Amino acid sequence: MNIRRFEEKDADELSQVIRTTLSISNSSDYTPQELEVLFKELSPQALLQRAQQGHFYVACDDGKLIGSGCISPFWGSETESILLTIFVLPDYQGKGIGRRIIQTLEQDEYALRADRIEIPASKTGVEFYRKLGYDYKNGEKELEDGRLYRLEKFR
């Protein structure tokens, strides 16, 4: 398994990885209607746009995409960053791949210059991120818009 920078040719396959992961691992986090919206928000075209706004990485196993993660400046800030699009295919979860993706993102230049890193976390993902040192933003343990928790880590 290796982690490398996202390339334009990865967009279609990565969109399918995300769709599969959302449909299986996160199915209890969202209504079917919310999932459809997320599928559109994470389409190949949307992923290409996200890659232009931040540093996007993919995890690969024998050439197959199995996960992803992106780090971007938080609203253009030089001192705050945000982690986005963190997914690992269900068959690969629990094997340390998500942790390696987060470690890669935390070594990216956008993380190294940041005083604070934020991450929007699904109900399913929140405890994973908390194990990695992220905590509820401003101590707020409430879902934002009923969908996501806001977590943060100070450096």
Mean pLDDT by 10 residues, the chain (155 residues): 97 98 95 94 96 97 97 95 98 97 98 98 96 96 90 95
The domains found in the chain, sorted by start residue, are 2-154 (3.40.630.30)
**Total-model pTM:** 0.95
CA angle 50, 55, 61 (to 5 degrees): 95
Task: Look at residue 85 in the predicted model and tell me its pLDDT.
Answer: 97
Task: Look at residue 145 in the predicted model and tell me its pLDDT.
Answer: 82
Alpha helices in 26-144 (DSSP H): 32-41, 44-53, 97-106, 109-112, 126-131
Radius of gyration in angstroms for the set of CA atoms belonging to the chain, rounded to a whole number:
15
Task: Look at residue 155 in the predicted model and tell me its pLDDT.
Answer: 85
Task: Look at residue 60 in the predicted model and tell me its pLDDT.
Answer: 98
Q: Are strands 116-121 and 80-88 parallel, antiparallel or unpaired?
A: parallel
The burial class, CB within 10 Å (0-12 / 13-18 / 19+), for 124 is middle
